[in-house]
Amino acid sequence: MTSAELDQRVVIVTGAARGLGAVIAECLEQASASVVRVDIAGGDFAADISTAAGNEAMVAHALQLHGRLDGIVLNAGVQHVRPLTEFPEEQWDRLHGVMLKGPFLGLQAAWPALAASGTGRAVIVSSTSAIAAEPDKSAYVSAKAGVMGLVRATAVEGGRDGVAVNAVLPGWMRTEMAEAQLRTAVDGGLDRAEAEARMFARQPVKRFVETGEVAAAVRFLLSPAASGITGVGLPVDLGLLAQ
């Protein structure tokens, strides 16, 4: 890939104020894309992407700024960890609203513009948890698994509209979400090294996935080099799903 493989392409990135979303946005800008950063906390545009109105507004904003939309990266995410019998219904609804309903609404709002682009591409951030489940994360795991069904279904529809839809499946990344879970483990009596070792137990490579590694995969899926790829989930997981 070159530093200009996304030249003149307009891409929305959600959840872009910090963490993985901010790194993805920067990576795409380095490839000469025009990036519209969307986040409920602010950025280029503030929107609640769990609502139809928020998704419609972010797409309208991108079109007003640039007159076109070539790609969308649906990255916004939240987490809540509790055993099934203690999991609050409102947290289930919140996680599914942001991470499953949100991507559905985002694709729905962006689809006409992506189809008009001629080479429209969407990438949704799923997770290795969609395939290799973890305890106490029933809402997160089911939402991320649902994303994979959404990717496959919309990729089939995209074949007739010229829109490619894919996902990336990151393993454990050094993000605020992972740090929060580490703190919870430490507060529960583990030392940090033991908590990290438990995170990495199923990975052949015993380290965090770097956010830049995931961003590079997203950049590839948005690029002309991935023109033959649609309907897949690309793991960036240091071998976790290989076992």
Q: Confirm if 221 and 229 have CB atoms less than 8 A apart.
A: yes
Contact 181, 81 (CB under 8 A): yes
Distance of CA 37 to the CA centre of its chain: 13
Q: Which two tokens stand for residue 49?
A: 């992407």
Identify whether the C-beta of residue 117 lies closer than 8 Å to the C-beta of residue 69.
yes
Does 225 participate in catalysis according to the annotation?
no
Q: Of 104, 111, 140, 220, which is the active-site residue?
A: 140
> In sequence order, which ranges of the chain are alpha helices (DSSP H)?
19-30, 52-66, 89-96, 102-117, 138-161, 176-187, 192-199, 211-222
What are the CA-CA distances from residue 12 to residues 82, 93, 124 (Å)?
32, 25, 12
DSSP sequence for 22-72: HHHHHHHHHTT-EEEEEETT-SSEE--TTSHHHHHHHHHHHHHHHS---EE
Give the span between the Cα atoms of 57 and 36, in whole angstroms.
12
Q: How far apart are CA 211 and CA 208, in angstroms?
A: 9
CA-wise closest residue to 108 among 49, 167, 66, 169: 49
Catalytic residues: 140
